[in-house]
Amino acid sequence: MGELRFDGRVAVVTGAGRGIGRAHALLLASKGARVVVADVGCEIDGSGASTEPADDVVREIEANGGEAVATNASVADEDGAAAIVAAALDAFGRIDVVVNNAGIFHPAPFAELSADDFRAMIDVHYLGTVLVTKAAWPHMVAAGYGRIVNTTSESILGVPLLSSYGAAKGAIFALTRNLAVDGAADGIRANCLAPQAGTRMALAHGAAMSMPSEMLEQGVASMPPEMNAPAAAFLAHESCVLNGEVLHVVPGRVSRLAVVRTRGFEHDTITAEDIAAHLDEIMDPTDAHVANVGGPF
């Protein structure tokens, strides 16, 4: 297979001013996509705003011969999400790809997190993904084509201090599985990327975990954000046949992250005592099968 090109395609990348999103935007542009660089320029906790991160990425894309426009609208606001999609339509007349990458971060023990902390994560990560996708959806349906790349995280599996973040990322995973079902008939494919990267969030998490500075620096250096962009580009490409899947990226490896169902224990009537007696059988992953989008589960 030759190079995966995006000539003639238009991609929106949220959270594209720094880190992983910036890497996505730069790679897509280098492959011929016209890119909307969406970023409010906030701190990792969601505070503050700046036009500079998005503008800097646009300038970098243009300096390399690509086409891009910036928007500083917020994904967490319905009007802001609509404005992001409108930026693509106004500048380039179409929208083919949405990469939902924008996010905030607040590592802390569950007991110390407030309800508002959880709401903030849901508003930006989950509802931000919902709102931008929903704004783009009718245009993709009309075109009979679309690629949605949502950002989930291995924290959905359980990571210390990330209950609010991981829960919001879990909602994105579930949303993506259902978008994959709803969009299939209209030529829309939706998948997830679960990235690792040495970003501001990784530094904050390491600090919250009291990691030694030398270990943290080595970890960050080993995970450049750019290593995630090829997986995002693949999922965004017209040749991608995946739908409702998760690609997990770590240094030197891309793998499938999936939900499985074990063979379990079968009996006509099952009591709590039966479950206790057959727990090893229920939990045994031997011969487990992957739960497919749309079933069978």
Element (H, E) at 193: strand 188-194
- Whose tokens are 């929903």? That residue is 134
State residue 237's pLDDT score. 98
Residue with tokens 């542009």: 29
* Upstream peptide bond of 212 is cis (omega within 30 degrees of 0): no
Q: Cα separation of 130 and 151, whole Å?
A: 12
Question: What pLDDT score was predicted for residue 170?
Answer: 98
Quick one: pLDDT at residue 161? Answer: 97
d(CA 246, CA 223): 19
**Residue pair 254/51 in contact by the 8 Å Cβ criterion:** no
SS3 content of the chain, % helix, strand, coil (to 5): 45, 15, 40
CB contact at 8 A, 61 and 53: no
Marked catalytic residue, from 53, 165, 188, 191: 165
The residue to which tokens 């931008």 are assigned: 132
Tokens of 37: 């660089």
How far does CA 100 lie from the centroid of its chain?
6
Buried b (16+ CB within 10 A) or exposed e, 80-92: bbbbbbbbbeebb
- The per-residue DSSP string of 29-58 comes to HHTT-EEEEE-----TTS----SHHHHHHH
53: nearest Cα among 13, 85, 82, 93: 13
Question: What is the pLDDT at residue 218?
Answer: 87
Whether 145 is catalytic: no
* pLDDT given for residue 1 in this prediction: 74
Distance CA 85, CA 103 (A): 18
Contact criterion met (CB below 8 Å) for 35 and 113? no
pTM of the model: 0.95
Distances (CA, A) of 264 to 13, 258, 286, 292: 42, 18, 10, 18
Pull the structure tokens for residue 249.
């990226």
CA distance 69 to 88: 8
**Beta partners for residue 289, in sequence order:** 261
Widest pairwise Cα distance in the chain: 68
Give the pLDDT confidence score for residue 216 in this predicted structure.
84
**Residue ranges of the chain with pLDDT lower than 70?**
none
* Nearest CA-CA partner of 244 in 290, 281, 195, 197: 290
